[in-house]
Amino acid sequence: MPDFELSEEYQDLSDTVRDFADEVIAPVSAQHDAEHSFPYKVVAQMGEMGLFGLPFPEEYGGMDGDYFALALALEQIARVDQSVAITLEAGVSLGAMPIYRFGNEEQKQQWLPLLASGEALAGFGLTEREAGSDAGGTKTTARLENGEWVINGSKEFITNSGTDITRLVTVTAVTDTVTEADGTFRKKISTILVPTDTPGFTAEKPYNKVGWNASDTHPLTLTDVRVPEANLLGAPGRGFANFLQILDEGRIAIAALATGAAQGCVEESLKYAKERSAFGAPIGTYQSISFKIARMQSRAHTARLAYYDAAARMLAGKPFKTQAAMAKMIAGEAAMDNARDATQIFGGYGFMNDFPVARHYRDSKILEIGEGTTEVQLMLIARSMGL
């Protein structure tokens, strides 16, 4: 029989991060959300704990852990603050992981110790106004000129791209085109490392978002940005294909984050149902409330099993693309459904931003959109079934 119990090492990590989330992150969450301010002190403490280095080897400044360890940390943090959780997820999965997976040794030695320490953040510039899941829409270009890449274009919705500690953004750009047998043109998309202090790189005004208000998200403009030819990450023309691999892994991380959000709604609702009385009894004694919370717990449990399974397959070296897509879809929907139910349980207080369930209600919708919409996950699942 499969054993779904965490090992002592994983459980200790989960418990430690849970305590940190409750004692350090939760007390300042409402303030950062209201002020739309980036939680630099919290991020620094997470760096000191080694959370940004969890899945990387010690030789690159990491904690010599694995991707499942990162997922466990994300689940515990997202219970209390999705903005902080996505800062960690994007910093590791989108910022540092492409360098670890596809970088040469010089690039790894230059960037990974800094990123694994949490002293610096990196972003990944993929999405454009007309390109995201559709790589063919990529308009950003990079051409070689005197040993330098000259990059021109723009990017949208780039996490961790404009903080005071952001040092790098990896951008996708069209570096060549290929003529197919039928006469059509196919873009060859590569990934290039762009330090944020490079002239011509601009993080524009941050977005005014519905949720994730303490997470840093900007559109980017690249105007005649020049970086060395050696800043090419991975093989030329393999940029989008490599990033699809990063997205497959990232969906496990996002599923863990969404599971945490779903569980956070359960915990807040359970506590409130025991404390709040109506008609002479705690509201948790009424089936309309207790059944709702039971269903919420079932959703969180199912989401957790889904991302555990996908992570186990990944760590075992087995195919996991479909399982990651299912986990991301199931967990994202669980987070949104639980946030809706939790807000209903809290009544008027659920509409007040001071309460965590209200923030989860605003934050959770993006979990059905970011890093692959629910529709994209359904498409991937259907394709795996031969449809």
Domain extents for the chain?
8-121, 122-238, 241-384
The candidate with the shortest Cα–Cα distance to 212, out of 103, 22, 81, 73, is 81
Q: Going by DSSP bridges, is the β-strand pair 166-179/121-125 parallel, antiparallel, or unpaired?
A: parallel
Whole-number Å distance between alpha carbons of 153 and 33: 31
CATH of domain 241-384: 1.20.140.10
Those residues with Cβ within 8 angstroms of residue 142's Cβ, 6 or more apart along the chain or in another chain: 149, 150, 151, 152, 171, 173, 174, 175, 190, 192
Q: For the chain, which ranges sit under pLDDT 50?
A: none
Q: Encoding tokens for residue 197?
A: 């202090």
Phi first, then psi, for residue 304 (nearest 5°) are -65, -45
> CATH top-level class for 8-121?
mainly alpha
154: part of which helix (H) or strand (E)?
Answer: strand 148-159
CB-CB neighbours of 309 under 10 Å:
18
pLDDT given for residue 130 in this prediction: 85
CB 244 within 8 A of CB 316: no
CA-angle at 340, arms to 88 and 91, nearest 5°: 10
Work out the end-to-end distance of the chain between its first and last CA atoms, rounded to an integer number of angstroms: 32
pLDDT given for residue 177 in this prediction: 78
Q: Which CATH superfamily is domain 122-238 in?
A: Butyryl-CoA Dehydrogenase, subunit A, domain 2 (2.40.110.10)
Ramachandran class of 212: left when φ > 0, alpha when ψ lies in -120 to 50, beta otherwise: left
pLDDT given for residue 185 in this prediction: 72
pTM of the model as a whole: 0.95
**Catalytic residue at 375?**
no
pLDDT given for residue 184 in this prediction: 64
Q: Which of 8, 275, 371, 375 is catalytic?
A: 371
pLDDT (tens digit per residue) in 140-169: 999 999 999 999 999 999 999 999 999 999
Whole-number Å distance between alpha carbons of 346 and 143: 56
